[in-house]
Amino acid sequence: MNRILPQIDFGLKHLLERRSDAPPPNTGSSGVRKASWKKDTRSRVVAQARYDHLTRGRRAQLCVDDVSVSFDGFRALDELTLILDQGELRCIIGPNGAGKTTLMDVITGKTRPDSGSVFLVGDTTDLTHLSEHEIARRGICRKFQRPSVFQSHSVLENLELALPVGRGVFQSLFARLSSEQRSAIEQILEIIGLKEEREKRAGLLSHGQKQWLEIGMLLAQKPRVLLVDEPVAGMTHHEAERTAEILVGLAGTHTVVVVEHDMEFVRSIAQTVTVLHEGRVLVEGPMHAVQNDPRVIEVYLGVD
């Protein structure tokens, strides 16, 4: 297989991202404030007492601690605290404007909060002072609603490009996969159900298959936490069922967070459900308890 062209595409993109010295403006055309790309050289850590308090007595993986975000006077997140445990599958639901996207943006470094902290268990570094790339390297990966794959390259090439590189661009041009990397890709192809399509160009895949490929590309990066945004939007019923199987299968090995509006899909995968409303946690618990809670029915489920 000729891996030179894919490696050039990825390598130059990666190099440009790393070599860009000029940070983008802190607000875009949408008015959404984004985190600065300029590295904060000051020490930013979570107080040990707070760390111990949030993680004591549970198998915590990721902690969002007392986070607030405001946009032009609108409180998108309001002193929100959320703790995700190792290997759990968490569904986050809520009406439009509840703070779901802002929460994902804060966790991944796209938006910097006004106050509060985010940290991975085992590391007291406050992630809210790191760039998106630094957070991703610590094992937090995000899949957006629209699949982002290399359309002109094969399924196999897409997975190869997603592997952690750790080399310069020109070294990557002639890189060969190790036996461990080949084994990892085979395992991922099995998980996402695309073994028979490995040589197919990604642009020819169905919408659902593209979504599965992107999940596979994130798995290639060995994430500790996988954030998935509305994974079944636009899918057929069969594709949604297969997506549910993939996400349920990942739980245990990875901490998986799913933001979704399709309540039928949420019911099919939910272990623990968090309902957000006006930037706060309204209710949290098993699906059967959440869907019968009068507060949830009033602010969210009652409008469906």
**What architecture is the 4-18+43-303 domain classified under in CATH?**
3-Layer(aba) Sandwich (3.40)
3-class secondary structure per residue, 38-91: CCCCCCCECCHHHHHHHHCCCCEEEEEEEEEEEECCEEEEEEEEEEEECCCEEE
177 in Cβ contact with 164 (< 8 Å)? no
Residues whose CB is less than 8 angstroms from the CB of residue 288 and which lie 6 or more positions away in sequence, other chains included: none
Residues 103, 64: Cα–Cα separation, whole Å: 9
Question: What's the predicted TM-score (pTM) here?
Answer: 0.82
113 in Cβ contact with 288 (< 8 Å)? no
Residues 297, 274: Cα–Cα separation, whole Å: 14
Predicted pLDDT of residue 164:
82
Residues 215, 162: Cα–Cα separation, whole Å: 11
Give pLDDT tens digits for 223-280.
Answer: 999 999 999 999 999 999 999 999 999 999 999 999 998 999 999 999 899 999 999 9
Q: Which helix (H) or strand (E) holds 179?
A: helix 179-192
Q: Contacts from 186-192 at CB under 8 Å and sequence distance 24+?
A: 188/159, 188/216, 188/219, 188/220, 189/155, 189/156, 189/159, 189/216, 191/216, 191/219, 191/246, 191/249, 191/250, 192/216, 192/219, 192/246
Predicted pLDDT of residue 92:
97
Can you state the percent helix, strand and coil of the chain, rounding each to 5?
40, 25, 35
Ranges under pLDDT 50 in the chain: 1-32, 35-43, 167-173, 304
192 in Cβ contact with 216 (< 8 Å)? yes
3-class secondary structure per residue, 191-260: HHCCHHHCCCEHHHCCHHHHHHHHHHHHHCCCCCEEEEECCCCCCCHHHHHHHHHHHHHHECCEEEEEEC
Predicted pLDDT of residue 20:
36
Of 91, 83, 92, 89, the C-alpha closest to 58 is: 83
Give pLDDT tens digits for 3-15.
Answer: 444 444 443 344 3
